[in-house]
Structure 1
Amino acid sequence: MLGITGFGIGCSKDDKPAVDNGGNNGGTSKSKFVFVVYTDGSGGEAGRYIVPVEDVTKGSLTTTGVGVETEAYSFIRQHNKLFGIVYAAQGPTSPYKLDGNGKLVSAGQPVNTEFTGIYGIVNEDAYVGGSVNRSKESPVATLYRFDAVNGKVAGRNTVDLSKITGTDEMAVWTGLFQVNNKVYIPYYTTPGVDGANTKYVDSTWIAVFSYPELAFQKVIRDGRTGFIGNWFGMQGVQQTTDGDVYAWSTAGGSGSLRSTKHSAIVRIKKNTEEFDQSYFFDVEAVAGAKIARGEYIADGKFLMTLYATGETGGVSGGKVKLAIVDVYNKTVTPVSGVPVHAQMSYNMKVFVDSDKKTAYYVLKNDEGKLYLYVIDVATAVGKQGIYFQGISDVTSITKLNY
């Protein structure tokens, strides 16, 4: 389970959700969607399950007879496996796969890893995870490289989060993304002291690390919008097909922690490591709304949630609406057929098909019911699909091949 949000807002271990990060297709022709869900206890004892299903365009999904119970909170897809990461110090990371019959089975022995607060896939064979600390008394975090083929931790490096910002505050990471042969980690800052708030709500930062060494190299900073991403959200930065990197900011918050800047998208040009001052997509001015979350589709298009009212959330909160945002042409196209709904915790529950024509998005409606919506990217039209019966939360959605 993974997600992240800003302004020093914390979360208990039982809150941790999951994020999908895409992955390779495994070279096979058959596939199933795989969801990680929390049951509501209506069918017995409440729990957390991994559930495969073939058709998500209709019908309902339950965990009865098909779900595999799990203790993991974070989930990442890599090398056609689903890795479940327990949100605890030295918690086990357990790999899953679909067997030849499409049944979810273990894909190897659990491996102990660090407390994992951020993570992202790298190439076709690995992912990188990192711990997240928010106290000046304990500012050291660990990045680790996980070999997804052989199922082992292949390298580690420690980082002092109080020494990378160039300010009197420390960094709090909000996600981890591969950009060419580097690792980009966006962050916000905190004084690292109880009761003290950041002074830097109007700045955008990305820390750059080498790969595979995971050594800190530099910080990329901008002052035209707020910080990138949200606590445990694993969103906010994406390299597009043409090699450029786009980052987006809610520029939200409340009271003294509300950014004075507009919610916007900024760019890092291909083969550079600085924000492009010639590009600024003021989404708030164009759409009259702030960005909540985003996921890249293709060809400069993102599926994004935009806040539908003046209320902006952190890990959750606020009402949102769905839109296709084109960063090349600086347009925002509302997705019809999908109702305004409450922002789910941490991250968007979304999966984009390999052909980039269809996106699948999970929401909870005003009646408290969870549905998946099938989004046609070209027409920006959504249709209601599978109903999650007896399920209180969906924390991850992906596909595995078999």
Structure 2
Amino acid sequence: MLKQLAKISLFAGVVFTAFSCDDKDDPTPAAETDKVYALGVGVTTSTATTNYVVQTGDLMNGTISLTGNGLLQEGYRDYAFGGGNFYSIGGLGVTDVNTISLNASNQLTTKTGLTFEMANNEFIDVDGTGKTMVGVSMPANPTAGLNAKFYTVDVASNTITNRAEVPMNDIHPSNQDWLFHTGMQVRGNQLFQTFYPVNHTTYATANTDTCYVAIYSYPGFALQKVIKDTRTGPAGAFNTRSGIFETENGDLYTVSNSSYSNGYSQSTKPAGILRIAAGSTEFDQNYFFNTDTAPNGGKIAHAIYIGNNKLFAAITVVPPTLDDRWSDKNLRLAIVDLSAKTITRVANAPVFTGNGGRSFAALVDGDKVYTAIAADGVVNIYQTDIATATATKGAEVQGSFLGGIARLK
């Protein structure tokens, strides 16, 4: 048990210290390229993790350095993007959000003032227009609170414009298990949320035979119903936010792994993908994609939607055992075609170990996807060409891991 909790703490970055970039160095010159990227970079030592947001105009060459280039972030951080802003979101006792954008000189600038009541579990652009973000905060245990809190945020004013609370016990019986959030999507006038039941003290997962989706009204966030399907287990995993995705035509897909490597204490159903068809609020009984048995398959641990009914994913390709719990290892990059039910592994990308319980730091930019892989203590950006599913090794990142990435210009 202590080993398990230590693993959770390691993934979440529970302990932090503060050390800044060298203030004596000259600031990085304003970006001269037509692109500017923001990266959330974590630096981990034997005693602490420190987070920075840095910028670069080139993801493929040289070194992306923290020296004279990093905005120090207080405490644990995760990241989101919307409306031209890179959101640095606090967690583990930190509830503020730093809204980071570019100034007239193409340098990162921070706007403060956005604060949630509890640590935020996910923060998404509602419809891709960059006008409204939706956040959710789920108490980690009954002592922390009994209600899930939903928010809408106006991007232009950087303020919370609507709040709503939903009793946790209404979403899932709290006398059986607590629940952890794994993903959400807004479709029209409804919000769809994936979660998994868990013992909030031991993190044991006694109920892994059902996939759950809670459906709420939007923007009111009134709980309408919870739908269930027993062909696979719960969607998503601890803090990964890879539980549910929406395609261009309004279909929703839930992604389940029930993987020891991502924190589950048992696995009783095959890893798989289910569909909620456009206009429907029930699982499509004619669609099931078993990713365990698919060629090039495995358990989808992390993913982002990249368009045209495809996911860019990190897949656990060696069947994990209980000894692998929380390890997030044996990952391969892949492109998952939801319509064709195929998995194509990305060539020229190594097998790697992920960052455990956090969102997938990957960015689709045109016909390329960018993410980072750490090998032998060195973190590099990898560019994947979507059409050919081929990776090219890019710039070195001066840090221990990449926590988030977005294009600001």
Superposed pair shares fold, TM > 0.5? yes
Q: Give 2:346's aligned amino acid.
A: V
Cα drift, residue 238 of structure 1: 0.7
Q: Give 1:128's aligned amino acid.
A: V
| Equivalent of residue 310 in structure 1, options 291, 296, 319 | 319
Tell me what 2:237 maps to.
230
Tell me what 1:349 maps to.
361
- Rounded Cα–Cα distance in structure 2 between residues aligned with 1:264 and 1:319: 18
Tell me what 2:351 maps to.
340
Tell me what 1:385 maps to.
394
Q: Indicate conservation of the 8 Å contact 1:187/1:227, yes or no.
A: yes
Tell me what 1:24 maps to.
none
The more displaced of 199-208 and 375-384 is: 199-208
Q: Indicate conservation of the 8 Å contact 1:35/1:50, yes or no.
A: yes
Q: Give 2:394's aligned amino acid.
A: G
* SS of residue in 1 equivalent to 2:209: coil
Q: Does 1:394 align with 2:394?
A: no
Q: Does 1:52 align with 2:55?
A: yes
Tell me what 1:176 maps to.
184
| Equivalent of residue 378 in structure 2, options 369, 384, 387 | 369
Tell me what 1:31 maps to.
35
Tell me what 1:87 maps to.
91
- Rounded Cα–Cα distance in structure 1 between residues aligned with 2:325 and 2:166: 25
Q: Does 1:69 align with 2:80?
A: no
Q: Give 1:322's aligned amino acid.
A: L
Q: Indicate conservation of the 8 Å contact 1:142/1:157, yes or no.
A: yes
The verdict on how the C-alpha distance between 1:136 and 1:66 changes in structure 2, with shifts beyond 3 A counting, is closer
CA offsets 1:237-266 (integer angstroms, 9 cap, x no match) = 111122211111113238993222111111
Q: Does 1:286 align with 2:286?
A: no
Gaps of 5+ in 2: 17-32
Q: Does 1:271 align with 2:279?
A: yes
Work out the number of aligned pairs and report it.
Answer: 376
Q: Does 1:14 align with 2:13?
A: yes
- Rounded Cα–Cα distance in structure 2 between residues aligned with 1:196 and 1:348: 21
Tell me what 1:296 maps to.
305
| Equivalent of residue 360 in structure 1, options 357, 367, 370 | 370
TM-score (norm 2): 0.84
Tell me what 2:209 maps to.
202
- Rounded Cα–Cα distance in structure 2 between residues aligned with 1:55 and 1:221: 45
- Rounded Cα–Cα distance in structure 2 between residues aligned with 1:325 and 1:337: 17
Gaps of 5+ in 1: 1-5, 18-28
The more displaced of 133-142 and 94-103 is: 133-142
The verdict on how the C-alpha distance between 1:332 and 1:206 changes in structure 2, with shifts beyond 3 A counting, is same
> In angstroms, what is the RMSD of aligned CA positions?
2.8
Structure with more contact order per residue of length (Cα contacts < 8 Å, sep ≥ 6): 1
Q: Give 2:156's aligned amino acid.
A: V
Q: Does 1:151 align with 2:163?
A: no
Tell me what 1:164 maps to.
171
- Rounded Cα–Cα distance in structure 1 between residues aligned with 2:139 and 2:159: 24
Cα drift, residue 223 of structure 1: 0.6
Q: Indicate conservation of the 8 Å contact 1:164/1:170, yes or no.
A: no
The verdict on how the C-alpha distance between 1:46 and 1:156 changes in structure 2, with shifts beyond 3 A counting, is closer
Tell me what 1:129 maps to.
135
CA offsets 1:161-194 (integer angstroms, 9 cap, x no match) = 12222683333212222223322110011355x3
Q: Indicate conservation of the 8 Å contact 2:78/2:359, yes or no.
A: no
- Rounded Cα–Cα distance in structure 2 between residues aligned with 1:196 and 1:292: 18
Cα drift, residue 49 of structure 1: 1.3
- Rounded Cα–Cα distance in structure 1 between residues aligned with 2:138 and 2:241: 13
Q: Does 1:244 align with 2:248?
A: no
* SS of residue in 1 equivalent to 2:219: coil
The verdict on how the C-alpha distance between 1:135 and 1:99 changes in structure 2, with shifts beyond 3 A counting, is closer
| Equivalent of residue 328 in structure 1, options 330, 334, 339 | 339
- Rounded Cα–Cα distance in structure 2 between residues aligned with 1:100 and 1:159: 42
Tell me what 1:23 maps to.
none
* SS of residue in 1 equivalent to 2:400: strand
Q: Give 1:125's aligned amino acid.
A: K
Cα drift, residue 98 of structure 1: 0.8
- Rounded Cα–Cα distance in structure 2 between residues aligned with 1:88 and 1:173: 15
Cα drift, residue 315 of structure 1: 5.8
Cα drift, residue 83 of structure 1: 2.0
Q: Give 2:273's aligned amino acid.
A: I
The verdict on how the C-alpha distance between 1:14 and 1:332 changes in structure 2, with shifts beyond 3 A counting, is closer
Q: Give 1:358's aligned amino acid.
A: K
* SS of residue in 1 equivalent to 2:99: strand
Cα drift, residue 79 of structure 1: 0.9
* Percent of aligned pairs with the same amino acid: 26
The verdict on how the C-alpha distance between 1:243 and 1:16 changes in structure 2, with shifts beyond 3 A counting, is farther
CA offsets 1:64-123 (integer angstroms, 9 cap, x no match) = 1122112161222111112222225573222111122211012x3422222212332213
- Rounded Cα–Cα distance in structure 2 between residues aligned with 1:177 and 1:16: 31
TM-score (norm 1): 0.86
